Structure 1
Amino acid sequence: MKTLIADADQVLVSMLAYVLGRHGHDVSTASDGMQALHRWHTEQPELALIDAALPVVDGLALCRQIRQRSSALVILFGQRGDEHEYVQCYEAGADDCIVKPFSVRRLLLRIDSLLRRMNGLPMAEGEAGRGRLVVGDLVIDPGAFEAFKNRTRLHLTRLEFRILYRLARSVGTLVEAQHLADYAWQSATGGDIRLLKTHISHLRQKLEEAGGMPIYIRAIPRTGYILTPAAAAPAPADPGHPSAWPQTEAQPGGNPDATAVPAPLDNIVASPAEQRA
């Protein structure tokens, strides 16, 4: 596996390059963000280990640039280990964040865990063998770990992909937040509901930027989330059916008893502001 290690600490870089090389990785290194970005463009690694505090171009900015063009694995090295730092790393598009100092064994285990999710066990319960899911112009292929919206590939992290896939499996139906987090993280210790909101926000942005048919992720406070596609235009109704009758609205100074015929409930879709609640 082609692996990029980007860190200003040359002792750490040399040690990681040696250990990862012994584990079958084809390693390249960089000591600052600009050099790392150049190596990324020329070598196209499948895994990047990046210090969030890189000089010249910091690791968070580098991760964002990588994520715009690739779905490769990215692990960021943090400094503090507080919630704000974790949120920053995941917002930048990292698949994982590990805080310095860390043991090489721990890093290897984190890499192996991500690789199992990506390759051997991309979904839970053998779901890689399931067929594609189609919701409007959103197409999700669990076998290839790919999602397309409006014929445009979505560059998703592994967590984002699993969140979107789980919601799409239950389109129009509530998925409880804790269940969704547990499914996405696939960890023995369970998922992190606090960070789930961040990943949901990223998904909303990427779905909106892809254009096409609006697809909303509605939040039900203290409960969970619902994936809701925009309602399709209703089919022409029978002229004798009440749904085909002309609607009237009360006008200022007009008949106060004149009211509009209510639209069918199936055609009511949450506004963007409501679905982001």
Structure 2
Amino acid sequence: METILLVEDDRSISEMVMNHLNMEGYRVVTAFDGEEAKSLILGNEYDLIMLDLMLPGLSGMDLLQVVRQKSWVPVIIVSAKNGDIDKALGLGFGADDYMAKPFSLIELTARVKAAIRRSKITKQSDAYDGDKAIRLFDLVIDSDNFSVTKNGKAIKLTAKEFAIMHLLATHPNRVFTKAQLYERIWNEQYYGDENVINVHMRRLREKIEDDPSCPRYIKTLWGIGYKSGEI
């Protein structure tokens, strides 16, 4: 049984969501303020975290950063804040999804299932011994031979291009900001030089996409970052 941490200060909403997810077969642990949630996050493992932004004590954004310092457990933000800036910040800090209140319990359940499913795919990909390939549509990324093929034809990528492709493909639908990409691929602190990322992304897309102006394999979330195409 998957365990979900539900961080929501409105007890009526918390109870409603918890009861619904219990009926769907999930175990739900609840927290009603930021400090309580932080303690639970640091002391336990969860299959998914649902996080409100407006909390007593630590804010939802602060908690999201605590989560990301520890793990890549899927996080769904559920908030009354529905502005583009709040969505961008949430996704940019590492959330997997964002839902605005009020919301449908049916839609919430669908997003929870999708996030947990993607997380399992990622874990399976991370556990590959190298003799298994990662597939993204008709691309095959072989981490053992550092090779990429498309419809059986080899695509020549540089080491950095391969690393970008591999990172995005092994984290399906997870959004990476330019800063996160730079620090993960180049292992250096990012100082805001977007040109390096832009050039590598453009060249990579020219090699893998049928139409680089309408990419399928690497999607851009304007003002936020990049993610792999939906599997």
Establish whether TM, by shorter chain, passes 0.5.
yes
Deviation at 1:205, TM superposition (A): 2.8
1:49-68 correspondence runs (5 A): 49-68=50-69
2:4 is paired with a residue whose SS is strand
| CA–CA separation in structure 2 for the residues paired with 1:24 and 1:9 | 23
Work out the percentage of aligned pairs sharing the same amino acid. 20
1:219 aligns with 2:198: yes
CA shift in 2, pair 1:210/1:70, >3 Å: farther
SS of corresponding position for 2:113: helix
Change (3 A) 1:39 1:91: same
**Aligned in 2, Cα 1:6/1:208: closer, same or farther, shift over 3 Å?**
same
Partners of 1:35 and 1:225 in 2: CA distance: 46
Q: Does 1:77 align with 2:88?
A: no
CA contact (8 A) 1:219 1:226 kept: no
What is the deviation of 1:126?
8.4
Q: Distance in 1 between matches of 2:27 and 2:188?
A: 34
Alignment of 1:132 onto 2:143: yes
- 2:93 is aligned to 92
3-state DSSP class of the match of 2:28? strand
Deviations 1:145-164 (A, max 9, x none): xxxxxxxxxxxxxxxxxxxx
Matches within 5 A, 1:102-181: 102-119=103-120, 124-125=136-137, 131-132=142-143, 170-171=157-158
Q: 1:84 to 1:46 in 2, by over 3 A?
A: same
Cα drift, residue 218 of structure 1? 3.0
For residue 42 of structure 1, report the CA deviation from its aligned partner.
2.4
What is the RMSD of the two structures over their aligned residues, measured on CA atoms?
Answer: 3.9
Q: Which 4+ residue blocks in structure 1 deviate beyond 4 angstroms?
A: 120-123, 172-175, 208-211
- Report the Cα distance in structure 2 between the residues aligned to 1:98 and 1:134, rounded to whole angstroms: 40
**SS state of the match for residue 219, structure 1?**
helix
Contact conserved, 1:61 with 1:92, CA < 8 A, in 2? no
Paired residues of 1:5 and 1:27 also in contact (CA < 8 A): yes
Q: Does 1:206 align with 2:193?
A: no
Distance 2:5 2:106 in 1: 18
Secondary structure at the aligned position of 1:77 is classed as: strand
Amino acid at match of 1:76: I
Q: Structure 1 residues 32 and 134, CA, compared in 2 at 3 Å: closer, same or farther? A: farther
Offset, 1:82: 2.3
CA distance 1:69–1:120, shift in 2 (3 Å): closer
Is the Cα–Cα contact under 8 Å of residues 7 and 13 in structure 1 kept in the other structure?
Answer: yes
Q: Which runs of 5+ in 1 are unaligned?
A: 136-167, 176-180, 228-277
- AA paired with 1:6? V
Q: How many residues align?
A: 176
Whole-Å Cα distance in 2 between the matches of residues 133 and 169 of structure 1?
A: 15
Q: Which residue of structure 2 aligns with residue 153 of structure 1?
A: none
Question: Cα distance, 1:110 vs. partner?
Answer: 1.0
The verdict on how the C-alpha distance between 1:44 and 1:118 changes in structure 2, with shifts beyond 3 A counting, is closer
With normalisation by structure 1, the TM-score equals 0.53
If the length of structure 2 is used for normalisation, what is the TM-score? 0.62
Q: What is the rounded CA distance, in whole Å, between the counterparts of 1:173 and 1:40 in structure 2? A: 33
Deviations 1:221-267 (A, max 9, x none): 9x83549xxxxxxxxxxxxxxxxxxxxxxxxxxxxxxxxxxxxxxxx
Is 1:17 matched up with 2:29? no
